[in-house]
Structure 1
Amino acid sequence: MLTEKELLKMPEDDYMNDEQLAFFKALLLQHKDELTIAIEDAKKSLAESERNTDLNDVATSQEMQQLYLRTVDRQSKLLRKVNGSLRLIDSGDYGYCEVTGDPIGVQRLLARPTATLSVQAKEIQEHQEKTQGAIKAD
């Protein structure tokens, strides 16, 4: 298995070879395991907070329940992205921008293994979202 250093030293023309795909697959599977455990822990904490509610602590309990629900929601969304990235690895499309088809880049994928857009495509998307948001606000 490649190390991150070895991965970064590989030539650009060897992009998303079998070793790189194996590296990212292992990384994504590790994230998947961590997210699954975190989601289960949050669900257990939510169930426990519902059972242990003291009438004097209702407000605190409700805030904690909202926190657990937001955590589960956020982690579930990320888990869906991780599973989507694993499917892209299996199909041979991982590491390439879904808009332009250009390589996303190893450094970007190390920072965000679930990235599906190149930096340029992401910047365009964010600009469009800001512009459309500004228009809708009027």
Structure 2
Amino acid sequence: MKPQIFLPDDYRPAEDEPFMNDRQLEYFRRKLEAWKSELLEQSAETLEGLQDSARSVPDLADRASEETDRALELRTRDRQRKLVGKIDSALRRIANGEYGYCEVTGEPISLKRLDARPIATMTVAAQEKHERRERVHRDD
């Protein structure tokens, strides 16, 4: 088992320290765990809300409005479920020592990018290239 890493509350990964050192990895691990916990909490609240609203509404307009709300909640919940999967994948990459490196080029992903989007798997350049290629194929 790894020793506990001390991180001050105001710690932010910096470019002048070794890339993906123990402190940076711990910072991102904690950030991902907190995000995952928040999403799971919201998901539980959504489920409770859906169960509470599963009652029969006699007015057609109210029922239509409620069904629209339910569909939106379910779409949001599905998006959150996929996001939790990406967070789990990022946590596995941290455990495997692969976190912070582009899955396409192997280059380090910038700390600013990882701080803004800790589930990122590609550098900005690789992501843009991927999205351009995706758009071209989508237009076929």
**So what's the TM-score if we normalise by structure 2?**
0.88
Once superposed, what is the RMSD of the aligned Cα atoms?
A: 1.4
* 1:35-50 → structure 2 map (5 Å cutoff): 35-50=39-54
Once the two structures are TM-superposed, the CA of residue 47 in structure 1 deviates from its matched residue by 1.3
Once the two structures are TM-superposed, the CA of residue 58 in structure 1 deviates from its matched residue by 1.0
**2: CA distance between counterparts of 1:41 and 1:103?**
37
User: Which amino acid in structure 2 is aligned with residue 82 of structure 1?
Assistant: I
**1: CA distance between counterparts of 2:138 and 2:97?**
35
Choose from 8, 13, 17 the match for 1:7.
13
Cα displacement string for residues 62-119 of structure 1 (whole angstroms, at most 9, x for unaligned residues): 1111011011101001110011000000000000001111101110000100000111
Q: Percent identity?
A: 39
Residue 27 (structure 2) aligns with: 23
1:115 aligned onto 2:92: no
Residue 97 (structure 1) aligns with: 102
CA contact (8 A) 1:2 1:23 kept: no
Cα displacement string for residues 16-72 of structure 1 (whole angstroms, at most 9, x for unaligned residues): 000000000000000010010011111111111112x31112101111110110111
1:131 aligned onto 2:136: yes
Q: Which has the higher helix share?
A: 1
Once the two structures are TM-superposed, the CA of residue 5 in structure 1 deviates from its matched residue by 5.9
CA contact (8 A) 1:2 1:20 kept: no
**2: CA distance between counterparts of 1:4 and 1:90?**
24
Distance 1:69 1:6, change over 3 A: closer
CA contact (8 A) 1:42 1:71 kept: no
Distance 1:33 1:6, change over 3 A: closer
Distance 1:55 1:73, change over 3 A: same
**2: CA distance between counterparts of 1:122 and 1:33?**
27
